[in-house]
């Protein structure tokens, strides 16, 4: 069952005392991000994933952050959440004024930074962020600055990677709302590679098949259209690339546990978890 992310995090409301905010999130299942708007933060932000994954679009490029990875987003860079599943994470926003040493390279690179932490390094990062969260909760701002500096010094711009170019182009196309989701073969043809090779690349980088991502995109788009309430079920099926309405109903119920009509009715009534 996919649930809506609510309420949205507004870190700037928590940054009045010390231009810094952090929280630890535990989210189970899939999440409906259809109504989450594009964001532009006037400060740096990062997410560190302990479990799960989140797919974002930043300046027209997709960034998939998975367990053991941190994604740092520079200030004033627009980004949008495209997909989000089984998430245990730290989410942080901070002003440059919360940092003791402003010479860190990651603070001066205009591009997002995605970095992986493994084994002992990941365990240390988890413990460090837990201490950072505890210090912030008790308003020990001196310790917050020290811990934040220790975290930032571990981020290496030369290690930043958005991933395989072909996979990124595939994900951008799949989540492009100006076109209906297509078949794996169609995306492969656009990228001038075979469907099998595209599947291997996508699975190697993301842990999911190309078809998995297409179905995630279809489901997200279907939920968004159902919430808007402007199109008939058959029209929505066609819009998400499924011409057979019966198959669309089976596909939706398999993933959501309810039919498209039941989902729309639950949204109208304001229920979160329709049965």
Residue 199 corresponds to which tokens in the numbers above? Answer: 């599947």
Residue 39, classed as helix, strand or coil, is strand
61-66 and 44-58: which strand pairing? Answer: antiparallel
Residue 274 corresponds to which tokens in the numbers above? Answer: 């329709």
The reported pLDDT for the residue numbered 234 is 94
Domain coverage including residue 171: 165-269
For the cut 80, the answer to whether the pLDDT of residue 34 exceeds it is no
The reported pLDDT for the residue numbered 136 is 93
- 73 near 79, Cβ under 8 Å? yes
Mean pLDDT of 22-36: 75
Residue 155 corresponds to which tokens in the numbers above? Answer: 């981020």
Mean pLDDT of 120-129: 95
Share of the chain above pLDDT 90, in %: 55
Give 19's pLDDT tier (boundaries 50, 70, 90): confident
- 275 near 259, Cβ under 8 Å? no
For the cut 90, the answer to whether the pLDDT of residue 15 exceeds it is no
On whether residue 184 sits in a domain, the answer given is yes
Cβ count near 124 (within 10 Å)? 13
Mean pLDDT of 216-237: 90
The reported pLDDT for the residue numbered 102 is 92
Residue 153 corresponds to which tokens in the numbers above? Answer: 């010094």
Residue recorded with tokens 């995605």: 114
Query: Does residue 131 sit in the same domain as residue 90?
Result: yes
On whether residue 201 sits in a domain, the answer given is yes
Using the 3D structure, point to which of 159, 184, 201 is the last residue of a domain. Answer: 159
Choose from 31-40, 41-50, 158-167 the range with maximum mean pLDDT. Answer: 41-50
Mean pLDDT of 157-186: 84
On whether residue 274 sits in a domain, the answer given is no
- In the chain, the DSSP E strands lie at 2-4, 20-32, 44-58, 61-66, 69-73, 79-94, 113-116
The reported pLDDT for the residue numbered 177 is 81
The reported pLDDT for the residue numbered 80 is 87
The reported pLDDT for the residue numbered 30 is 60
> H/E element holding 167?
helix 165-174
Task: Give dist(CA 201, CA 32) in Å, integer.
Answer: 27
Give 270's pLDDT tier (boundaries 50, 70, 90): low
Q: How many CA atoms lie within 13 A of 213 on its CB side?
A: 31
On whether residue 275 sits in a domain, the answer given is no
**Nearest Cα residue to 90 out of 120, 32, 133:** 133
The CATH number for 186's domain is 1.10.10.60
Q: pTM score > 0.75 for this model?
A: yes
């Amino acid at each position: 069952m996919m649930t809506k992310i609510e309420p949205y995090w507004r870190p700037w409301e928590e940054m009045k005392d010390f231009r810094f905010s952090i929280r630890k999130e535990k989210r189970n299942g899939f999440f409906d991000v259809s109504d989450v708007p594009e964001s532009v933060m006037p400060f740096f932000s990062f997410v560190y994933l302990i479990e799960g994954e989140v797919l974002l679009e930043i300046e027209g490029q997709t960034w998939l952050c998975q367990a053991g990875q941190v994604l740092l987003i520079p200030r004033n860079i627009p980004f949008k959440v495209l997909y989000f599943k089984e998430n245990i994470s730290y989410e942080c926003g901070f002003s440059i004024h919360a940092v003791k040493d402003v010479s860190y390279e990651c603070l001066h690179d205009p591009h997002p930074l995605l970095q992986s932490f493994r084994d002992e390094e990941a365990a240390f990062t988890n413990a460090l962020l837990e201490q950072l969260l505890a210090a912030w909760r008790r308003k020990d701002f001196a310790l917050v600055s020290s811990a934040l500096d220790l975290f930032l010094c571990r981020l290496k711009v030369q290690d930043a990677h958005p991933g395989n170019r072909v996979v990124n182009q595939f994900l951008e196309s799949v989540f492009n709302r100006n076109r209906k989701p297509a078949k794996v073969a169609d995306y492969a043809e656009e990228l001038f590679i075979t469907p099998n090779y595209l599947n291997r690349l996508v699975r190697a980088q993301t842990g999911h098949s190309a078809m998995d991502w297409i179905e995630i995109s279809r489901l997200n788009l279907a939920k968004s259209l159902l919430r808007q309430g402007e199109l008939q079920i058959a029209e929505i099926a066609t819009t998400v690339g499924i011409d057979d309405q019966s198959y669309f109903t089976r596909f939706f119920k398999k993933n959501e546990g309810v039919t498209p009509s039941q989902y729309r009715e639950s949204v109208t009534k304001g229920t979160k978890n329709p049965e």
